Chain A
């Protein structure tokens, strides 16, 4: 305790013609158990009421507060100042469209992604309100949950080399989402259906294997493993598609 913290914060309000991108410096006295949630709200309330940033649950559940913290994408609400140096530099997440200062538009990006990969259970069954639920093995339910834990914070996209270079790259978040549906027996899509969605450079073959996505995932989702499995599955599917029929066997 007793430290004075210096915050270097990216500033730009695209809606204000008088605004130009620049860095602002703020100083705060550090208090016990301070997080960036507490610090940024104090800056807004005490020093500069125009500072734009996003928090929602402030509990690491909703994914709203991702930003680049001393060069690394992460959740601001998770970040305890006692684990940080005296000087903290905050930038908005790249790739996503800037709303202002530290706030970016993740909503539109993710909704576009849902449509591209059709992020829902595909089934020709109809829900029968009078019937008992279909059974599922608890172990399988837990495996699906494991991948369903993604909070769409966008850290994996902000840290991704491919996403920075090509706008249409789906990113680890979308590939993990698809892996979740591949696991789920309620989704009736075939291997070919999945291949059509991610068997391209926009999808799994655009991944350069840098794997910063896994390093920065605040939920520690095993993205490396999922990307590896998906690449193998899709590569095999590709091979199956070009082999003459009599050479095909079940991989």
Chain B
């Protein structure tokens, strides 16, 4: 058995994983990052828009502060977030942005004097103060009171990831790419690392670590229509759920992005609407102001996604061979702006649609985009259930996003949580020793070896993993998509349970040798269906509407009964997750109230039963 030992094992080398890794390496600990793809190809690179931090340097960000950012974040979460965590985040965000600047991120900077910006499709001028010249600038994003989003044109995630990976290379972080963690090594109390499969050779290795971090991003690929990279299939969450003791939090809280292009579901940034892009229907009529007179296209993205779906249901969508869609119009922003500030958007339209956004409309529809749920951790990033296991970034439910995260908050979360949780992991490593149980390591390895042998031998059946995945796709989008109701969710849960049975009977058509992609799929399909069940079952049981979780049969946000976080665990052999609940937050800096957008009624905490 090949065994490698390290102080910290980061599963995932995107922004959160690498930021934690750097913190540990900076403090003299050995670190290995495992990544399915070379670190710089991680999905963090695709985040175009920016990172929210209350620096308040720009004219439109004047008067901003962590308090204002906090209020936006809690409102955005529809009071589903942990307010203590949201406070930690907003206070540390400006420091993290400056640290990124120090390490080399070419943030866009304040240009003094009168500048032209756009809001709601209309140009206006604002005066940038000469004394702020050269400080980090910010742009507008949905759901915020101030312009707060730090950016590098529209390659923010890319630039920050390249900068962090440079720093990781400098610090000697060992990034092992084309390798996938397929199980955690644990004894029910302590996590001791992970079993990983090499995606170059198929070889299994046991990585032993005193601290293990799950930072594998979202699980959007349990939906067919998703903006997520194809690697975002919840791999890290599956390893956590498979332990039987680690909880996944708020899995039903899934965000849809208003503007995925049709048909490939590639995201075009919210920056388009922030800069003044508008949404049009089949009559090329701008409909959002009718629904949301104040914020229009800049309401938070769950609201925009829902309004778009609502409008298409009225028959006002544009029909196409790939289903109905709407139009995104950025033509009025002008050629210069589109070709420079929105260049990635321009490229996406030209390369993947054959559309020139300077002159043509962009076909868009709401698409799965972000997973608020994930490995539930405390404020230090420590997972519930196993000592030595941590999680950060989109794969975690830390939980500053509650039931809806704001654009620009998640990308910022990766480096801010990475900084904070990295510090806590350093404390953990300084103060804790681990005993590696050779029996637990051997058991974990043997279990994976025989799993692979069984799949190759079709011991449990010969279901095609891709066919099973397609069945899951069909079921979850219908039952647990943007609008949800009890009847469809019950059907969805029943279907997914049947699909889970099939997932347990998959077998390979090929020999499984080397980096065999059929085996890669077969190894994770059962786990993916389990994640889908956590989403659908959690959504069925949550009889209220909150943030991105919208129940047509329970349209009120119910603070009396549901100011809670769902915790899902999975007992080995079970057909459904076990659901428990905890209070959404223990501290109330900001008592539950109205978000000011999205409409909907609220059943207050003290409402009579």
Contact = CB atoms under 8 A, between A and B. Distances in A.
Interface of A: 13-16, 32-33, 35, 37-38, 44-45, 49-52, 54-64, 77-78, 80, 99-100, 103, 105-108, 110-111, 114-115, 118-121, 125, 127, 129, 131-138, 141-142, 144-145, 148-149, 151-152, 184, 186-187
Given A62-B46, A120-B104, 4 more contacts: A13-B514, A33-B354, A108-B177, A110-B40
Interface string B108-140: 111100000000000000000000011111000
Contacts of B40: 62-63, 110, 151-152
27 contacts: A13-B516, A15-B202, A16-B513, A16-B514, A35-B264, A45-B466, A49-B517, A56-B229, A57-B229, A58-B229, A59-B264, A59-B266, A60-B347, A60-B351, A60-B352, A61-B46, A62-B41, A64-B38, A64-B41, A80-B351, A105-B178, A111-B169, A115-B169, A125-B102, A135-B134, A138-B109, A145-B159
B344 interface: yes
Interface stretch (B376-384, B428-436, B503-511): B503-511
B132 to A, nearest CB: 9
B147 interface: no
Nearest to A139: B111
Given A50-B510, A151-B158, A56 B43 contact: yes
B166 A114 contact: yes
A100 B461 CA distance: 27
A120 B38 CA distance: 17
A103 B45 contact: no
B450 interface: no
Interface residues of B, number: 72
B162 to A, nearest CB: 6
Contact of B135 (A35, A61, A135): A135
B99 interface: yes
Nearest to B100: A133
Contacts of B444: none
B516 A50 contact: yes
A178 B108 CA distance: 21
B95 interface: yes
Nearest to B165: A114
B120 to A, nearest CB: 25
B517 A61 contact: no
A134 B510 CA distance: 57
Interface in B150-164: 152-153, 155, 158-159, 162
A64 B110 CA distance: 34
Contacts of A110: 38, 40
Contacts of B158: 61, 148-149, 151
B524 interface: no
Given A55-B230, A107-B177, A148 B37 contact: no
Given A121-B166, A133-B102, A59 B517 contact: no
A51 B521 CA distance: 13
A23 to B, nearest CB: 19
Contact of B155 (A15, A35, A145): A145
A45 B98 CA distance: 46
Given A99-B515, A137-B109, A148-B155, A58 B347 contact: no
B137 to A, nearest CB: 7
Interface in B428-471: 466
B167 interface: yes
Given A56-B41, A110-B38, A145-B106, A78 B514 contact: no
Contacts of B43: 56-57, 62
A135 B109 contact: yes
Contact of B201 (A15, A129, A135, A145): A15
Most buried by B among A54, A151, A186: A54
B323 interface: no
